Amino acid sequence: MKILDLRSLPADSELSAEVCVVGSGPAGMTLAAELASGGVDVLVLESGGRDIDPQTSSLNETENVGAQRVAEHERVRTRAFGGTSRIWSGRCGALDELDYEPRSWVPHSGWPITAADMSPYLDRARPYLNIGPNVYDDSFLELANQRQTRPPLEPPLVPYFWQVSRSRTEAGLPTRFDRDLPTAAGAADAIRVLLHATVTHINTDADGSVVRSLEASCAGGPTATITARVFVLATGAIENARLLLASDRDIPGGVGNANDLVGRYLMDHPGSVIATIKPEAAWSLRDRFGRYWLDGPEGRHVYIAGIALSPEFQRAEELLNCSAFVEEYPAPDDPFHAAQRLLCRLRGQPVPEEEIEVASFWRHEISAFFGRRPSGLGDVKSIVRHLPSVIAGAYRIRRLHRPPLFRAGAVHVYCLTEQLPDRESRVTLSDRRDDLGMRVARLDWRIAEAEVRSVRRLGELLGDALERVGEPRPVPQPWLSAEDWRAGMTDRAHPIGTTRMADDPREGVVDRNCAVHGVQGLYVAGSSTFPTSGHVNPTEMIVALSIRLADHIKNDVLAPTRVATSGAAGPAGAVQA
């Protein structure tokens, strides 16, 4: 990749490319890699630099007037090369078939594309995320040559297996999109990334129907104008809406907003701990759920078992799609983590737990457990004292092909749910401005009663099902039955839905190809295009949609004009920076 920096370009530079992608997170870099592999000249504009720095991060500030957020938004969205993949947890999965369908009890549901349409793109997303086969239901156990030795939990609960993205360059961390791109060297060289280039305005013709250029700037530095045949916004669901809305110098209400839809239907995955269970009573539950390995030619893939509601039951009780899984936090004297820490110290490497802790979204939840981390001598003592657990762990690894069950300090049942698309849940612009003079995003994120109703029902069903098979019933969290249940739920830093996809411009901002309705040359990539959220973490879907968008741009937008101007060598209209 050719890495440039706006700060070192001359004032008022003019840059050009065949396709200009704004944002270098999973959405933007996947798109850039796919386009470059097809011989397209791509310029990626990235607001941040190579490292995360407070000044650039402050451009992510928001004004929050809605439901409580898990953390300030300059922390949970990353303005740096690679985007939020610099701090994400790597959990992957695909939407269920029902998620794509219109559902009478979910107003504004229904995607213009189906699960079958997405399936090939989800397969092509695998190398980007370094994940295994997209098998997320109970057929995974057969694939992994595993048997559920414990009595199964009966319908309406159905198994759901997430998998974990793994970096190719750093053990123990998920894929980072600034350095883990599985692109052939030649293709990667065709990508130019311009760092410290924050796009502040989209310039169109007088009636807003064709994009002409983008304006980019950096604090105290030069500005640049970028022209391209195709522009794609891949700045995350909050910034995609903010940028369209803020591009209102000539077009009142902003670009692509003729139907007053930009920023609306903001969703996330409201979630929380719904129950706890004493670690000493949770061994069997942790074994039933927990992690599984799938070894193949591409190496080891890790899957996490959980449960979800069957589609039939969602229909019958008019519930939202939601899922639950077990979160386990190691005790300070867990011998496996102690051994890992000792090894790292001996090798002079950073302790992975510390890295994960620094990066973790859940820092406030897990710090209580990691905070009491013992010294090197304490770690040796933990290993000796818990030698039987170490032997049992070795048996699990060798004979059961499962990771060891470590000594847990706490075990939680965590639930995530989809949301009802709500027109009033939205991103608008505040009067406050950031360092570059752009109005900051004002978030009015709303959680509806339907969400907590679905989560409560899942919690009850799980408790009943576990009791029926002789497992202890997890203790429900008091917030679930409290009048003020909203205080118990927060977002998961998965903003979704602010430029939703629909064939009808009165229903959505982008069409099924992610083209902004009524604005030629402008596309959107990322979770802002999702019409509904499902329960599953969004990034695998984001990557798959970017691959699909790249195919559309290459085959349906650029190829016909290349044929028409046959004889033109290289990317038409491209002027190198």
Ligand X SMILES: Cc1cc2nc3c(=O)[nH]c(=O)nc-3n(C[C@H](O)[C@H](O)[C@H](O)COP(=O)(O)OP(=O)(O)OC[C@H]3O[C@@H](n4cnc5c(N)ncnc54)[C@H](O)[C@@H]3O)c2cc1C
Site for ligand X, rule CB under 6 A: 22-28, 45-48, 76-77, 79, 83-85, 87-91, 198-199, 234-236, 239, 243, 361, 493-494, 526-527, 537-539, 542
Amino acid at 228: A
Nearer to ligand X, 59 or 466 (CB): 59
> Residue 475 is encoded by which pair of tokens?
């203790």
Residue 13 contacts residue 224 (beta carbons within 8 Å): yes
With 0-12 / 13-18 / 19 or more C-beta atoms within 10 angstroms meaning exposed / middle / buried, residue 146 is: middle
Closest CB 382 distance from ligand X, rounded Å: 28
Residue facing ligand X at closest CB distance: 25
Nearer residue to ligand X within complex by CB, 153 or 429 = 429
Q: Please state, in angstroms and rounded to a whole number, the distance separating the CA atoms of residues 346 and 333.
A: 19
Nearer to ligand X, 533 or 539 (CB): 539
Give the C-alpha separation, 436 to 216, whole Å. Answer: 10
For the bound state, the minimum distance from the C-beta of residue 46 to ligand X, rounded and expressed in Å, comes to 5
Nearer to ligand X, 83 or 488 (CB): 83
Closest to ligand X by CB, 98 or 241? 241
Distance of closest approach, residue 152 Cβ to ligand X, in angstroms: 26
Backbone phi and psi for residue 83, each to the nearest 5 degrees, phi listed first: 60, -150
Min dist. Cβ of residue 293 to ligand X (A): 18
Q: Which is nearer to ligand X, 28 or 393 (CB)?
A: 28
* Smallest distance from ligand X to CB 24, Å: 5
Looking up tokens 């414990």, which residue turns up?
A: 150
Q: Which of 108, 535 has the CB closer to ligand X?
A: 535
CB of 255 to ligand X, least distance (A): 13
Q: Which of 513, 533, 537 is nearest to 523 (CA)?
A: 513
**Cα–Cα distances in angstroms (integers) from residue 502 to residues 8, 414, 544, in the given order:** 41, 32, 18
3-state secondary structure 516-534: ECCCECEEECCHHHCCCCC
State in angstroms the smallest separation of the CB of 79 from ligand X: 4
DSSP E strand boundaries for 291-447: 291-296, 299-309, 322-330, 408-417, 426-433, 439-444
Which of 477/527 has CB closer to ligand X? Answer: 527
Residues 444-449: contacts with CB under 8 Å, at least 24 apart? 444/65, 444/66, 444/266, 445/64, 445/66, 445/67, 445/69, 445/266, 445/268, 445/491, 446/66, 446/67, 446/266, 446/422, 447/67, 447/270, 447/419, 447/486, 447/489, 448/419, 448/420, 448/422
CB nearer ligand X, residue 77 or residue 166:
77
The nearer residue to ligand X, 89 or 314, going by C-beta atoms, is 89
Q: How many CB atoms lie within 10 A of CB 256?
A: 30
Least separation in angstroms between residue 49's CB and ligand X is 10
At position 197, the amino acid (one-letter code) is A
Element (H, E) at 311: helix 311-317
Contact 304, 161 (CB under 8 A): yes
Query: Please, what's the b/e burial string for 101-140 (b: 16 or more CB within 10 A of its CB; e: otherwise)?
Result: bebeebebbebbbebeebeebbebbbbbbbbbbbbbeeeb
- CA separation for the pair 95, 491 (Å, rounded): 18
State in angstroms the smallest separation of the CB of 104 from ligand X: 28
Which of 289/485 has CB closer to ligand X?
289
Min CB(438)–ligand X separation in Å: 8
Q: Smallest distance from the beta carbon of 515 to ligand X, in angstroms? A: 17
